[in-house]
Amino acid sequence: MFFPYREAGWYQGLHVPENPRWITLLQHTPYHIHPRCDEFSAILRGCRLFQAYLVDMFACIDQDHLHFIRMQQPKLQVTILHGIEDALSENDEHIDLSQLGQRVILPASYWGGPHDMHQRYLDGMAIAWHFKKIDIFLTMTANPAWSEITRELLPGQTASDRPDLISRMFHLKKKALMNAILKDGLFGPCIAHIYAMEFQKKGFPHMHLLLILKHEYKLLSPDIIDSIISAEWPDPDTHPQLFEYVKKFMVHGPCGALNPNAPCMRDGKCIHGFLKNFESHTTVDHKGYPRYHH
């Protein structure tokens, strides 16, 4: 038996009694897509059908969430606005009152809803207003060649055939990175941070992270910037693995005159500004933006 939200405390002030015979659709779906050594899973071998299955189940889960919110409006202590406001704001004298319905308010606990997004926006703006300058803008992208992903792929599969595996591994890597930054002090004590999760067009998740460090650890001089940020080739003799990573994942192009048909070319110029001028040393402009040595 499915119950949209059995978890107590998901909404403040609302308690749903526990029942071992009830599971949520959000619990039911991961159970079916979890691989088992002694069981043949047709779902995980569905390729694009598996992707369509995940999208359909997400839509069903979200529909259950919305239905639950709609049925629990009085318990959530949300003001129910009837169609009177619509009638008063409508200038048409021939409005059909039978077409006016009841407005359902989505609480801030509904992820992705207007109240939730508005609160997150206000929180981000408040942090930026209080702490002023952001010290580090860091981007983390999922890599389908991670060994933790490739070793779990079934015969004949590619990383795009297992979005569940990519998302799970990215979540674990992101958690490890955040622990290294916030708990271990990778860049120094961090007093505030903001991050946003997005999915690229090719389906891989990535994170944009803003870090604000304590005053003693802020990047105020070119020497401090060079100590944690490098925009030049690593030495292939002393750092061979880092050199291979940079060459494989962080090189743009070729574009410009060498490849005028590159995807980044617009009107004969690279939209990302390559090729960039060489810089003999790192400088900081009058607005506080660095120009890296490269």
- Judgement on whether residues 74 and 49 belong to the same structural domain of the protein: yes
More confident residue, 152 or 104: 152
Residue 245 falls inside a structural domain: yes
Residue 17 falls inside a structural domain: no
pLDDT tens sequence across 232-261: 888 889 999 989 888 888 888 788 888 888
Residue 121 falls inside a structural domain: yes
Residue 45 has pLDDT above 60, yes or no: yes
- Judgement on whether residues 121 and 44 belong to the same structural domain of the protein: no
What's the predicted TM-score (pTM) here?
Answer: 0.75
Alpha-carbon span 26 to 31, nearest angstrom: 9
Query: DSSP alpha helices (H): ranges in the chain?
Result: 25-33, 48-71, 84-89, 114-131, 147-150, 163-182, 222-228, 240-249
How far, rounded to the nearest angstrom, does the alpha carbon of residue 199 sit from its chain's CA centroid? 6
Range with the lowest mean pLDDT among 29-43, 68-82, 98-112? 68-82
Residue 6 falls inside a structural domain: no
Residue 90 has pLDDT above 60, yes or no: no
- Judgement on whether residues 40 and 93 belong to the same structural domain of the protein: yes
Alpha-carbon span 60 to 54, nearest angstrom: 10
Q: Count CA within 13 A, CB hemisphere, residue 118.
A: 6
Q: How many C-beta atoms lie closer than 10 Å to residue 165's C-beta?
A: 21
Alpha-carbon span 43 to 59, nearest angstrom: 17
Query: Residue type at 221?
Result: S
- Judgement on whether residues 125 and 85 belong to the same structural domain of the protein: no
Q: Rg for the chain (alpha carbons), in Å?
A: 26
Q: How many C-beta atoms lie closer than 10 Å to residue 41's C-beta?
A: 14
Helix, coil or strand: residue 237: coil
Residue 118 has pLDDT above 50, yes or no: yes
Tell me which of 74, 99, 124 is where a domain ends: 99
- Judgement on whether residues 121 and 212 belong to the same structural domain of the protein: yes
Tell me which of 218, 237, 269 is where a domain ends: 218
* Sign of the torsion formed by the C-alpha atoms of 262, 266, 272 and 274: positive
* Sign of the torsion formed by the C-alpha atoms of 13, 17, 18 and 20: negative
Residue 140 falls inside a structural domain: yes
**Cα separations in angstroms, 167 against 147, 148, 171, 218, 259:** 14, 12, 6, 32, 34
Say what the pLDDT of residue 170 is.
93
Residue 127 falls inside a structural domain: yes
- Judgement on whether residues 78 and 144 belong to the same structural domain of the protein: no
> Domain total for the chain?
3
Say what the pLDDT of residue 2 is.
40
pLDDT tens sequence across 129-176: 998 888 899 999 998 888 899 998 888 888 888 888 999 999 999 999
Residue 288 has pLDDT above 90, yes or no: no
Alpha-carbon span 115 to 109, nearest angstrom: 8
Domain residue limits at 171 = 111-218
Q: Count CA within 13 A, CB hemisphere, residue 119.
A: 11
Tell me which of 64, 99, 134 is where a domain ends: 99
